[in-house]
Structure 1
Amino acid sequence: MPSPRQTLITLFAGLLLLSSMEASAAGKCDRLVVTGSPDAPPYLWRDPQDPAHLMGANADLLKEAAAQMGVKVELLYGGKRSQALEEVRTGRMDLLADTPLNNNELESLDFIHPPIAQNEIMVWTRVGHAQPFNSLAELHGHPGAISEKTRITPGFDNAIKEHLTLEKQPNLTQAFQKLMLGQVEFVLAGRYAGMALVQTLAMAKDLQSQPLPLDRPGLYLALSFNSACNDPWLRGQLAKKMTELAASGRSSEAIAHNLELWKAQLQQPTSAIKQ
């Protein structure tokens, strides 16, 4: 039987080893290189004052969470949405900050649950439009438009392809212009992006959103399988922080703040951002 002294030494050595392992796990990644969509305000978009970086609600929320974890974050412009995905898929960048859950990407990305934010896809119409547009069935047979940049859930995408006649426009501005001109009867667009644009383009008296969202795509953090930072500690900590964010209401505050920032940028004559 080991002596009390030997038992104490063994216990102390075990504690040192455990402490070392925990420090190693927590310290494996002290910097995350992050990218995402450069055209998804107020969640994420290219900073007009520093085009090499991204800004937005998701950027703010991720930086706050990472700071509490002791991890530095840099949000870099990685190209358009498909290019940003490829940068993360290959491991050249570590994390996507605003991607919808996509079954096709489960072989290359770890999606962190719950989502960092949720969008609401609304039906936008001209003010005074008499036809109720609160469901896909009510939209059936009526011409509509959607921006190519609007992200929706796969199930909703399949449903609108089967049941609706939608013109895809390069951006939301052009979709709303077609609505203003009466060339379409509705536009499917995010609640906040639509709200900012109708106010900025002086269309608030002419266009409105219907009361019920038709789709609520979540925007997730997604870690690359090929990232050196992808380990159980980091995934667990990110999931914990996203859960705390969902319960705190902080996401809504960040969205509201960045919505105002984006609207201010749109009103600047030199702004090159076009949605």
Structure 2
Amino acid sequence: MVKRRASLCLLLPLLLGLLPARAADDCQHLRATGNPEYPPYLWRDPNHPGRLIGANAELLDYLAGQLGIEVTVIDAGPWSRAQEEVRLGRVDWLAGYFRTDAREQQMDFIAPAFLTTDSVVWVRSDGAFAYTGWDDLQGRIGGTLVNNSHGQRFDEYASAHLQLEAVPGASQAFEKLLHKRNDYLLYERHPGAALTQALGIDEQLSVLEPPVSSEPLYLALSKRSLCNSAALRERLATLMQALVNSPLAERLVQRNLERWKRQQRLGLDR
């Protein structure tokens, strides 16, 4: 019995180390993250390593001010890693997430969505092909990001009919397309345009129309966050309803698009 108690005493600190490093009542300062290659919605802050800036970050700042709390939007790594950090509860919120059945098992989505964004087919300008819809992607090798979604319906179609290769980051995915290792790439319109311009490859690439999907972008809270409560979700939903009835979200997108372009001109992110 003594040996068993001693073993439990040694094991307890290890088990506690696996829990999120926050007391349940320490919820005045929350952490959020998202895709770090997602301008104008989110991107790495060139002046403050470890932070993300952009329209979604400013939206969270606004919501935090209304709630009387603080939110820090951190760079948790590539998009797939950022999602994992929130799923595990080590980060509280995802600042921009498409809603799917699988994701609803791990996240609480705050409705209504605050933006809608198009996912499109990117191709090399010298490698364009006839395209009018999803079926025209069959028989070709496409690119995407690890754990990325383009909406429930398209994800199910792609799983059944398309050959997609996933990489961790958007810059890597575009480079792979450019080097003819993929026939096309699935990525969102505005972030793709901003990134390809920053990489200096925008004139070598084209977008095929129509979009594969046009999906709502949600704020999502980890079910494992110790700060996720019914009261917080209700307050957020009320604020979000008021926000979508105003032009604030679109204004933040346009302002941060100009901010991104200005940083590229000044070379602050290089």
Secondary structure of 2:212's counterpart equals coil
Flag the 1:173–1:66 CA change in 2: closer, same or farther, 3 A: closer
Among candidates 189, 192, 204, match of residue 191 of structure 1: 189
Q: Residue 68 of structure 1 is aligned with which of 54, 66, 69?
A: 66
8 Å CA contact 1:150–1:190 kept in 2: the answer is no
Shift of residue 190, structure 1, vs aligned partner: 0.8
TM-superposed CA distance for 1:90, in Å, is 4.6
Any idea what the Cα deviations from partners look like across 1:40-67, whole Å, max 9, x if unmatched?
3332233222123221211111211221
Percent identity, aligned pairs only, is: 37
Is 1:250 paired with 2:260? no
Partner of 2:15: none
- Please give the secondary structure, in 1, of the residue aligned with 2:159: helix
Q: Match for residue 139 of structure 2? A: 141
Segments of structure 2 that go 5 or more residues without pairing to the other structure are: 1-24
Give the distance between the partners of 1:149 and 1:174, measured in 2 at CA: 15
Residue in structure 1 matched with residue 13 of structure 2 by the alignment:
none
Write the distance in 2 (CA, Å) between the matches of 1:46 and 1:96. 15
**CA 1:167/1:28 → structure 2, altered by over 3 Å: closer, same or farther?**
closer
Q: Alpha-carbon deviation of 1:112?
A: 0.8
Question: For 2:106 and 2:44, how far apart are their aligned partners in 1?
Answer: 25
Equivalent position of 1:112 in the other structure: 110
Query: 1:254, CA displacement in angstroms?
Result: 1.7
CA shift digits 1:182-218 (9 cap, x unpaired): 5544322210122113333444444222232112343
Instruction: Output one character per residue of 1:134-153: Cα deviation in whole Å (capped at 9) or x when no partner.
Output: 31112222343334475422
SS of residue matched to 2:164: strand
Other-structure match for 2:93: 95
In 2, the alpha carbon distance for the partners of 1:193 and 1:254 equals 14
Aligned residue for 1:37? 35
**Which region of structure 1 is more displaced relative to structure 2, 259-268 or 129-138?**
259-268
Correspondence 1:124-139 to 2 at 5 A: 124-127=122-125, 131-139=129-137
Distance 1:150 1:169 in 2: 10
After the TM superposition, which of the residue ranges 160-169 and 83-92 deviates more from structure 2? 83-92
8 Å CA contact 2:55–2:252 kept in 1: the answer is yes
Letter of the structure 2 residue corresponding to residue 186 of structure 1: Y
What CA distance in whole angstroms lies between the structure 1 residues aligned with 2:178 and 2:76? 34
Query: Is 2:207 the counterpart of 1:209?
Result: yes
Q: The residue matched to 2:46 in structure 1 has which SS? A: coil
AA matched with 1:258:
N
| One-letter amino acid of the counterpart of residue 32, structure 1 | L
- For the 8 Å contact 1:54–1:76, the answer to whether it is kept is yes
Paired residues, number = 246
CA deviations on 1:209-248 (whole Å, 9 max, x unpaired) are: 2232112343322223444533333212211222233232
How many angstroms does 1:86 deviate by?
4.6
Equivalent residues of 2:43, 2:53 under 8 A apart = yes
**8 Å Cα contact 1:94/1:229 also seen in 2:** yes
> 1:214 aligns to what SS in structure 2?
strand
| Among 224, 228, 231, the residue aligned to 1:233 | 231
Cα root mean square deviation, aligned: 3.3
Distance 1:40 1:147 in 2: 12
> Cα distance, 1:121 vs. partner?
0.7
Point out where structure 1 has 5 or more consecutive residues left out of the alignment. Answer: 1-26
Question: 1:212 aligns to what SS in structure 2?
Answer: strand
Match of residue 161 from structure 1: 159
Alpha-carbon distance between aligned partners in 1 of 2:59 and 2:125, rounded to the nearest angstrom: 35
SS of 1:119's equivalent? Answer: strand
Q: Distance between the aligned counterparts of 1:267 and 1:164, measured in 2? A: 38
Larger radius of gyration: 1
Distance apart, 1:128 and its partner CA = 7.4
